[in-house]
Structure 1
Amino acid sequence: MSGYYGPSFNHKSSRPPSLAASRANSSYRAARSAPVTPRNGSITTPRNASIAATIAGTTAAQTAANTAANTGPTTPALLSRVNSKLENEANGKEETPSMNSEILRNEKGELMIGRIAGGKHLTDDVEDIDLGCGEIKRVDCDMPLTLTEMVNHEGKEYIVLSFATGDKENPFNWNPWYKRSITTLLNLMTLFIGLATTAYSSGINRMCEEFGVATIYGQLGLFTFNIACAIAPMVLAPFCELVGRKIVYASAFLCFSLIFIGLALAQNISTIIGLRLLLGLFGCVGTILVGGTFDDMYEPHKRGRPMAMFAFVAIFGTVAAPIYAGFIDQSLGWRWVEGIQGLANIPLLILIFVAFPETRGGAKLHKRAKQLQKATGDDRYVAEDDIYTPDVKSMLKASSVKAIRMLVTEPVVFAFGLWIAFCWAVVFLFLSVIPITFEEKRGWSEGVSGLPYISLAVGTFLGWAAHHLQMRKYNQLQEDPNVRIVPEHRLYGAMFGAVWLPIGLFIYSFTQYGYLSWVGPVIGLAPIAFGIFFVFESTYSYTADCYGETSSSAIAGQGLMRNTLGAVTPLFASAFFHNVGSQYAGLILAMFGTVLSLIPFVMFKYGHLLRARSKLAKEY
């Protein structure tokens, strides 16, 4: 699909519990027993909240790239900050104020943190949870045990809430099977959006004949869909973070599904082009948040597999749609290509409305804060996201201006952006090339000529399966105490897999002749898809590891380049292969692919030098 892989602009996720929490409690108890002298007589201390992570990307492999590398178990947000503060004080280190916030202290110099609970949740079991945060404050409402800290933010006092250890409402603590079911729903939604991207191409010829227009006007439907996926996320991504995940998924997928009614009943090509633009708009909104949703639920070292599956489904859906769409168009007509897709969305749409939960921990804490405000009459209760969310202007700048600037000024971002854009262009070129090879040259029917796409689907599956070898290699490196993990360790899979893209293009180019067996070009399609999967995976993993907190902007720039090239490619694909000649056009692509396949090898050797010269790259 021409989906969006970053940035998600998700707020800092609520931290999963770990053994570090108990260490934080121990440190806090020790600190409370010792006198603490406030600096300069002040009863406030700069708050060390790492809120820069609010603009953290997620993309098909971006979240995977932020996994186990350099990331261990984490504590609940409050205890982590307390532990960090006490360690800094013990070592005589000064902290830097973050976002004009300070943790307040009482007259004894003690950090003003606590616990709060009420109603049916006041049981004996909660007394022993996070003891280091003080006595439990009881409130007259059903309130799960929640941690609090008193802060001064921009001159105003707030009581900031965070999850306690083991809180069942914390998405990190959900049952693994429940997380997998949510992941499955997201992947199904991604699959259906991907299928809609390219199934449309199977009906273009008949549709244009019915409307009496040139085929190029039908190709504009592919252009408008992809250009919406290229531009819209850079504007919409920040706004999607202002509300919870569920409302965005449900409303966007509802609009996405309803548009198929208009496509199936359209009476002119202008309506088709406009509706395809809207289809891309609402389709990309859903996929903007997938990476962020995985961030909400999975600890960093557990995100690799769901993100790899997401990348597989996104590519698989894009290349698999013509397998069935050609038969539908041939037997029922192009309108039913759209109609059947709309009908197929209904069961999933119902599941999203009924079964999909809110996954953003910040949204759940916001709900608790509102409940506490009502029960206590104290409007100081807030969730962390309520006061530390960047303003829309800042997020828009990161998702657009900064993204474009990084694309044109950072060699790593541009090189991998060019590589992945070329791969996406190949995908959409082959929507025109495969019909030329099998319909025009071999006289296959429209439906049968869609069957070679099975080879692309198989190649994508094999790429996903082989990716586990890259993950195994990376995990082995992590476990080796003598190895210092660097971003270049993400490139082993790319160096192995990416060379298959030009190999497949060479095979396809020189087996297109009509007098040769159809087996040759069909075989050539599989390594093309195999290589494309590894390009996608390595691009986002390596970019995310290189740029850390600024990787969301880098990946947004790459996504703009990828989807823009994917948008314009269908407009000249047929003319390119007809005028240049199928074999020579394929040869040109293969040569470009060969040159670009050198990128991971060059980066593996010289990437550390490029990172050292960059002001934005993360230090290792």
Structure 2
Amino acid sequence: MPNYYPHKDEEDKIHSYGDILSDKHSVPDSNNTSSSSTISNDNEPKEYLQLERTETKKSLKSLGVSKEKPPPQINDPPIEDPIFPEEYHLETDTGLVRAKTLESLGRTISGSHHSVTDETEFVTFKIDDPENPHNWPMWKKWFYTFLLTWLVISAAYGSSCLSGGLFTINDKYHVSTEVSTLTVSLMVFGFSVGPLIWGPGSEIIGRRPIYFISFGLYTIFNIPCALSPNIGGLLVCRFICGVCASSALTNVGASLVDIHSEASRGLSIAFFSFAPYSAPILGVLVNGFISVNTKRLDLIIWVNMAFAGVMWIIVTMIPETYAPTILKKRAKKLRKETGNPNIKTEQEAQPLSIKEMVNTNLVLPLKFIVTEPVLDLVCAFIALIYGLLYAFFFAYPYIFGKLYGYKDDKIGLMFIPVLIGASIAVGTTYILEKQYNVMLKKKKPVPEDRLVGAMIGAPFPCIALFILGATSYKHIIWVGPASSGLAFGFGMTLIYYSCNNYILDSYAKRAASALATKVFLRSGLGGAMPLFITYMYQGLGLQWASWLLAFVSLAMVLVPFSFYLYGATLRAKWCKEDYTIHYD
């Protein structure tokens, strides 16, 4: 609803963005009269009265805006004490809300940082705005979810591709298997460093540019990996590849939250959960055949580069999904078209200082490790499952090589049951999500409602490892130990899907930092496992090495059940503050 209705004679001069009379602004281009009426005489410089339409106090009240500010939502930009936290989620008729109008509702403008004044006009999405990802048709949301999932698959595939042919590294550089194993570990360690760069970067310039930059670098750094004249160069470049590829593991979850509403978010996270845990298996499976049949390390890397390159091209098809970036682009366009410098987003009006950026994006994720035991326990459970996955990549070659004399091509086939189990888990998540949506209609959700999947999946990694140990005998057909992958794949995917959603809901106000903590801890254990898993099997034997891991997994089964029963109490007692979002 307009604040001011101009005279009928002026209506044909009104700019398409509005029809209220605001303050005078000097405009250097005297020929630009398309969006303003001109007041001039021979002795005075020309000035322009911008005609813009903004929301009124009444229209904002009708949209539910009041003195009380709502809690921040997941993926809101990090702004200290925001004036208008609804900006990135509210759809208005005009797309502009003046700070002065918010002040009339009781919001405090005076004393706010930086360049917020009474004349500041915040940009919002318009009603049924086609640029708002939440307004996209469902087919479009799932099409982009499919593409983003493959982006994650590409990154995770690269992490394990060399484990399908470690002997090619040994032969080319004349090193031991302990050294060649570092090519896998270092890329996974890179996954723990990258989120500290790409996560905050996406909140500054958007998701799409970060994907394009990081995957471009990932694709390029495969070249020196293939052509490196020595093992040192390969190790360094593999670490850099991990840093660059980690943008997919870090930011895709945030992109899915950008796109999906609460009702469909859980299922999209299930697909996201499938990718980083199942794609490494694809890397071992494919490259086992390449290595055995060609004995060429460079060909393994060229295939990985081709995969990454295709995804680099595809990622350009994905539009920007981060609401603050979309609105910043719109604000810039409006400033140019109207000549009004007061049109901006709150993120532009109250940008973080360098100190605040470092604290929010670098210090806080690491600080959470020390200060948030709830997050630590959930992340430890996720890290264990991720570490066990990479343990399988080195346990299977040892077990099947020792018992049956299999080479990497046949060993890769032994991982197919893991993929089958993970696929069954994705189907199970569909049922769980339907039940969750039914529950939403009956009561207000709490984060612990997200743990049902983890409780179902928690016993299966333990069962898988007991089966693996019990069947690791030469007289037992290969189907026995291979079948352990079915249980592991099922439990692995359910646990990650469920715990990921639990972290998002429990730490909604600091979701980006909490997820960065998760990736840091998960990748650290995932990278460490390959370094000692073979020694463990050599020292303890095929049975007891698996059973030791099974007993550790058995102890971790208590985590989701304990949090489901006592999570609210533990969060109230152990969390430094309430990070959840409470909706009326």
Q: Give the counterpart letter for 1:181 in structure 2.
A: F
**Residue 473 of structure 2 is aligned to residue 513 of structure 1:** yes
**Residue 450 of structure 2 is aligned to residue 420 of structure 1:** no
Distance in 1 between the 2:262 and 2:206 partners? 21
Among residues 517, 541, 554, which one is paired with 1:594 in the alignment? Answer: 554
Give 1:389 deviation, angstroms: 4.2
Q: Bigger relative contact order, structure 1 or 2, given CA contacts below 8 A and separation 6+? A: 1
Q: Give the counterpart letter for 1:513 in structure 2.
A: Y
Give 1:183 deviation, angstroms: 2.0
What is the TM-score when the length of structure 1 is the normalising length? Answer: 0.76
**Residue 541 of structure 2 is aligned to residue 581 of structure 1:** yes
**Residue 275 of structure 2 is aligned to residue 260 of structure 1:** no
The SS at the match of 1:242 is helix
Distance in 2 between the 1:47 and 1:419 partners? 38
Corresponding residue of 2:570? 610
Among residues 291, 303, 308, which one is paired with 2:265 in the alignment? Answer: 303
Name the stretch that deviates more: 199-208 or 239-248: 239-248
Distance in 2 between the 1:291 and 1:574 partners? 33
Closer/same/farther in 2, CA of residues 600 and 53 from structure 1, 3 Å limit: closer
Distance in 1 between the 2:123 and 2:95 partners? 14
Distance in 1 between the 2:312 and 2:101 partners? 49
**Residue 574 of structure 2 is aligned to residue 562 of structure 1:** no
2:375 and 2:503 in contact (8 A); partners too: yes
Among residues 112, 120, 130, which one is paired with 1:100 in the alignment? Answer: 112
Corresponding residue of 2:303? 340
1:441 and 1:513 in contact (8 A); partners too: yes
**Residue 516 of structure 2 is aligned to residue 504 of structure 1:** no
Closer/same/farther in 2, CA of residues 546 and 296 from structure 1, 3 Å limit: closer
Q: CA RMSD in A?
A: 3.3
Distance in 1 between the 2:276 and 2:438 partners? 28
**Residue 203 of structure 2 is aligned to residue 241 of structure 1:** yes
1:49 and 1:98 in contact (8 A); partners too: no
The SS at the match of 1:358 is coil
Give 1:430 deviation, angstroms: 1.0
1:421 and 1:563 in contact (8 A); partners too: yes
1:233 and 1:288 in contact (8 A); partners too: yes
Among residues 228, 231, 237, which one is paired with 2:190 in the alignment? Answer: 228
Distance in 1 between the 2:382 and 2:92 partners? 36
The SS at the match of 1:571 is helix
List runs of 5+ in structure 2 lacking aligned partners.
1-53, 79-85
Q: Give the counterpart letter for 1:257 in structure 2.
A: T
Distance in 2 between the 1:575 and 1:98 partners? 64
**Residue 472 of structure 2 is aligned to residue 442 of structure 1:** no
1:490 and 1:541 in contact (8 A); partners too: yes
List runs of 5+ in structure 1 lacking aligned partners.
1-23, 33-44, 58-70, 102-151
**Residue 431 of structure 2 is aligned to residue 401 of structure 1:** no
> What aligned pairs does 1:445-524 form with structure 2 within 5 A after superposition?
445-480=407-442, 483-524=443-484
> What aligned pairs does 1:59-208 form with structure 2 within 5 A after superposition?
75-76=90-91, 100=112, 153-154=115-116, 157-208=119-170
Q: Give the counterpart letter for 2:389 in structure 1.
A: V
Give 1:47 deviation, angstroms: 9.3
Q: Give the counterpart letter for 2:224 in structure 1.
A: G
% identity of equivalent residues: 25
The count of corresponding residues between Structure 1 and Structure 2 is 515
The SS at the match of 1:617 is coil
Q: Give the counterpart letter for 2:576 in structure 1.
A: K
Among residues 314, 324, 333, which one is paired with 1:371 in the alignment? Answer: 333
Closer/same/farther in 2, CA of residues 615 and 592 from structure 1, 3 Å limit: same
Distance in 2 between the 1:98 and 1:427 partners? 54
Closer/same/farther in 2, CA of residues 217 and 156 from structure 1, 3 Å limit: farther
Give 1:564 deviation, angstroms: 0.6
Q: Give the counterpart letter for 2:578 in structure 1.
A: A
What is the TM-score when the length of structure 2 is the normalising length? Answer: 0.80
Q: Give the counterpart letter for 1:361 in structure 2.
A: A
Closer/same/farther in 2, CA of residues 336 and 547 from structure 1, 3 Å limit: same
